[in-house]
Chain A
Amino acid sequence: MAATIERDLTAPVDARRPRTGRAGHRAPRSLVAAGVVIAALFAAPTLYLVVRNLGLGAELVAALTSAGTYGPLARSLGLGVAVCVTSTGVGAGLAWLTTRSDVPGRRVWRLLAPLPLVIPSFVGAAALRAGIAPGGLVASIAEPLGIDRLPEIDGFVGAWLVLTLFTYPYVYLPTAARFASLPPQLEESARLLGRGPAAVFRTVVLPQASTAIWAGTLLVFLYTISDFGAVSIMRYATLTTEIYRSRLVPTTWLPLALLLAAVALVTVVLERSAGRRRARTDAVRARRALHVPLGRWRWPAAAFTAFVLFNALLGPLTVLAVWAVRGLLAGGQRTGSLAITNGPASLVGPTVNTVVVSLIASLVAVAVVMPVAYLTTRYRTRVGGAVNAVVVAGFALPGLVVALSLVFWVLNIAGFTALYQTIPVLIVAYVVHFGAQAMRAGQVAVGAVPLRFDDAARMLGAGRIRRLATIEVPLMRPGLLAGAGLVLLSVMKELPATLLLAPPNFSTLATVIWSANESLYLAKMGLASLVLVAVSGVLTWLLVIRRAERFD
């Protein structure tokens, strides 16, 4: 009986659903050409690795077949999978609670939930450790309560927890955008036909959001295998810590970086072939999405949300604030350098720089990847698959590799040398490194545009640009903003490429944080981190949340 209902419920929907892909059509040549050009740009780091590794000859084979390579590789993969599971649960859960339920305080949660992404992982991990480690802040509170020694959190468990807390926004942002733009009719029908809220979620809501959730999960995996900050602070030896430790020995680190690129490419290809079986759904702007009353689960849901955000945001920020205040109170004796580099006013320039480069990079990233998003979503071509893999894989490489590759290409291609260590090349590095985030979000957005509107407008005589401006962009807006938001937050905290590729004397909040941490000016590091989170909060609200909230 249930099966009959299921068929009855979905059959008419399927029949009504318009095609979003034009499988029968050939992709326009201009789009394919654009895709190839963009792929060439994004392939820069991987090609660099291939070129350098080929130069190693026999040493490459020796390094790849060395037994010492497989432990770190296995740990990277295991950590990636574990973080994916928890980040997806937390990110999708929070997305649903904040966009589709009546959980108390959801407006505040919506503002705060994406922000853990902006905390540099080495800062967040160090702050969390300082908070929960034996003798840390939490322990000093727990001691009077008779708790002697808290369990130590490090190694696999520590890295897993920290990365979950700081990467769930990769799932949260696209999924929340998706949930917010789901048409309510299907859910209403399912409810009218007697499905309970849980069944509606499982059979109607979740399948429609699956492309967005998978998009985020892939980013979480790729970020996790490329992360260095959290795993090094948590003392978990992965491929990236091995690359870092051997960074003076190219015969060791180059093969390891190539291995990382290969893992990323394989992952992307697997994800894409799995993605073909996933349902596609339409974005409709007609009415706001349905809200589900949680009943007696309202307050437990609020407690869960608060718990996540306490650990991912408030906890680390408290530790940073303690460092800042304590250092500023006691640090008066370090006057010599304070006068020149340590006053709070010295943060103004880096803050402006951070805002300008991250805004430009996020907009350029969205613009650059849109042709690829169209090519890969609307058409099934071999070229599209390859371009997709190349763009997404760029995200899994450590920033050091992206930076060195651009040093190599910019200085070796005639005519580009003058651009070395200028803002445009830095922006290119950000786009190559983080474009994958905009593209996955862009693909979700493009996939949600029903072609029937486009067809109707075409029949009514609207030109290509007009159709894009009046139909597609407005429909894709929440998804595109989510993608831009991801890039924005990632660029704001980016460190290795910024250090190596920025023009001289150019500092961002991330480089200030690094620099202060290097010389153990914890006060300054705390202060700069707080500014970074505050500024990213303002930007996220202005550019992503406020604009996407028309659906609420």
Chain B
Amino acid sequence: MSMRPSPSSDASAPRARRSFAVPALALVALAVLTMGLAGCTSSSDATTLTVYSGRSAELIQPLLERFSAETGIDVDFKAGDSPELAQVIAQEGDASPADVFISQNPGATSFLAGEGRLATLPQATLDKVAPDLRSADGTWIGLSGRVRVLVYNKDTVRQDELPAAVTDLTDPAYAGRVALAPANGSFQDFVTALRVEIGDDETAAWLQGMADNGARTYANNNAIVEAVGRGEVDMGLVNHYYNVRALEENPDLPSVNHFFPDGDPGSLLIVSSATVLATSKHAAEAQQLVDFLLTEESQTYFATETDEYPVLPSVPIEASLPPLDSLRTDRVDFDELGGGFEKTIEMIAAAGLA
């Protein structure tokens, strides 16, 4: 740390010139990039499908690559949060480059259906899955199923303490012990289903009961599974596959999935779905991709690699998961509720769960 002689103003001149060169170079690079990209998009337009996906790359990309290899149709992939992608598609309007929208939650799909952005799928495609795994008006079809569960810490929760019904969680026995993710799409879908099942008044009362019972709120399913795993909270309402994946990376975790028995709405099956956009300029190829995702090969991928339920009856379910017919998949029609998710979000907020 010695004192340096003062740099004269002459010495600073070349430095100054260099600092101008950097932005200049950057601008040139930018121009080159622009031209390069403009070239790409115009030349490959004819055979490229654009997929907006609420499923992240880890959960769908391998299938899309297989599709491209088999059909020669390139896939441009854009992943994001399902509701945010739905907002973008609505904002894009008729100019939307998206051909296929893969959604993690029915709320986002219903939003786009309400905006009139979805095409109707052909009956042959729709018939591949059971009627309760697709929309009645044919605008979306299920790709894979995820089940709502109560994840619990086996060190702090006894087997005989586990509730038989999700509505039991307002019991004082569970005071301060249950975690929820009010902003999570799947939780909101579950509440919408609960409204169909027990009515708005009862659902509002249940939400209020959960809030009064000191339910702890978390940012998302991940945070709940992590909190249960380290013993911060005893149990939480999440989708089944989070804990399955957490255990794969850390088999010592004490967290266990509890599936509500006897078709209780607590273990509702929610599908991730595929839709073809009404504005798609490659409707036939988009349709081809949806059909590809419903082949036995693709469905086996969902069953074995992403720990989900396949929607094709012919593809076996992972041994650790309870069979589909013990869960409720029927009687919940999200379409029937129309913009039902808006009311759901209001009701969750009104209960003070945030």
Which of A252, A403, A517, A520 touches B345 (beta carbons < 8 Å)? A252
| B20 neighbours in A (Cβ, 8 Å) | 469, 473
| Chain B residue nearest in CB terms to A518 | B56
B77 and A505 form a contact (CB under 8 A):
yes
B79 and A515 form a contact (CB under 8 A):
yes
Tell yes or no: A191 within 8 A of B by CB.
Answer: no
B3 and A287 form a contact (CB under 8 A):
yes
B249 and A136 form a contact (CB under 8 A):
no
Assembly CA distance A552 to B342 (angstroms) = 59
Encoded as 1 (CB less than 8 Å from any B CB) or 0, chain A from 523 to 551 comes to 11000000000000000000000000010
Choose among B91, B95, B229 the residue with the greatest number of A CB atoms under 10 Å from its CB: B91
Of the candidate stretches A12-20, A81-89, A90-98, A233-241, the one touching chain B is A233-241
Tell me the count of chain B residues lying within 8 A, CB to CB, of chain A. 85
Tell me the count of chain A residues lying within 8 A, CB to CB, of chain B. 92
Prevailing SS type, chain B contact patch: helix
Contact A248/B83 with A242-B354, A359-B26, A504-B50 known, Cβ cut-off 8 Å? yes
Q: Which of B66-110 contact A (CB under 8 A)?
A: 76-81, 83-88, 91-93, 95, 97, 107-108
| B230 neighbours in A (Cβ, 8 Å) | 130, 133-136, 139
B183 and A249 form a contact (CB under 8 A):
no
Which of B30, B38, B111 touches A418 (beta carbons < 8 Å)? B38
Encoded as 1 (CB less than 8 Å from any A CB) or 0, chain B from 50 to 68 comes to 1000001111011001000
Encoded as 1 (CB less than 8 Å from any A CB) or 0, chain B from 287 to 306 comes to 00000000000000100111
| B108 neighbours in A (Cβ, 8 Å) | 248
Tell yes or no: B259 within 8 A of A by CB.
Answer: no
A411 and B219 form a contact (CB under 8 A):
no
Tell yes or no: A385 within 8 A of B by CB.
Answer: no
| A522 neighbours in B (Cβ, 8 Å) | 246, 249
A341 and B61 form a contact (CB under 8 A):
yes
B3 and A288 form a contact (CB under 8 A):
yes
Q: Which of A376-403 contact B (CB under 8 A)?
A: 400, 403
B37 and A422 form a contact (CB under 8 A):
yes
| A250 neighbours in B (Cβ, 8 Å) | 87
Assembly CA distance A134 to B61 (angstroms) = 36
Tell yes or no: A331 within 8 A of B by CB.
Answer: yes
Assembly CA distance A233 to B88 (angstroms) = 25
Prevailing SS type, chain A contact patch: helix
Assembly CA distance A170 to B22 (angstroms) = 24
| Chain A residue nearest in CB terms to B93 | A411
B30 and A420 form a contact (CB under 8 A):
no
| A235 neighbours in B (Cβ, 8 Å) | 216-219
Tell yes or no: B16 within 8 A of A by CB.
Answer: yes
Tell yes or no: A337 within 8 A of B by CB.
Answer: yes
Tell yes or no: B314 within 8 A of A by CB.
Answer: no
Shortest Cβ distance from residue A36 to the other chain B in the assembled complex, whole angstroms: 22
Assembly CA distance A471 to B217 (angstroms) = 56
Tell yes or no: A194 within 8 A of B by CB.
Answer: no
| B107 neighbours in A (Cβ, 8 Å) | 248
11 CB < 8 A contacts A-B? A152-B232, A241-B183, A341-B57, A341-B61, A408-B91, A417-B95, A423-B30, A477-B19, A496-B84, A516-B58, A520-B222
Please give 13 more A-B residue pairs, beta carbons under 8 A apart, in addition to A129-B226, A518-B222.
A135-B231, A152-B232, A232-B220, A340-B62, A356-B29, A359-B26, A363-B26, A364-B26, A470-B9, A500-B84, A505-B77, A519-B59, A523-B249
* Chain B residues with a Cβ under 8 A of chain A: 1, 3-4, 6-7, 9, 12-13, 15-17, 19-20, 22-23, 26-27, 29-30, 33-34, 37-38, 41, 50, 56-59, 61-62, 65, 76-81, 83-88, 91-93, 95, 97, 107-108, 111, 182-183, 216-220, 222-223, 225-227, 229-232, 242, 245-246, 248-251, 301, 304-306, 341-342, 345, 348-349, 354
* Chain A residues with a Cβ under 8 A of chain B: 68, 122, 126, 129-130, 133-136, 139, 152, 232-233, 235, 237, 241-242, 244-250, 252, 285-288, 291, 323, 326-327, 330-331, 333-334, 336-337, 340-342, 356, 359-360, 363-364, 366-367, 400, 403-404, 407-408, 411, 417-424, 427, 469-471, 473-474, 477, 496, 499-500, 502-505, 507, 511, 514-524, 550, 552
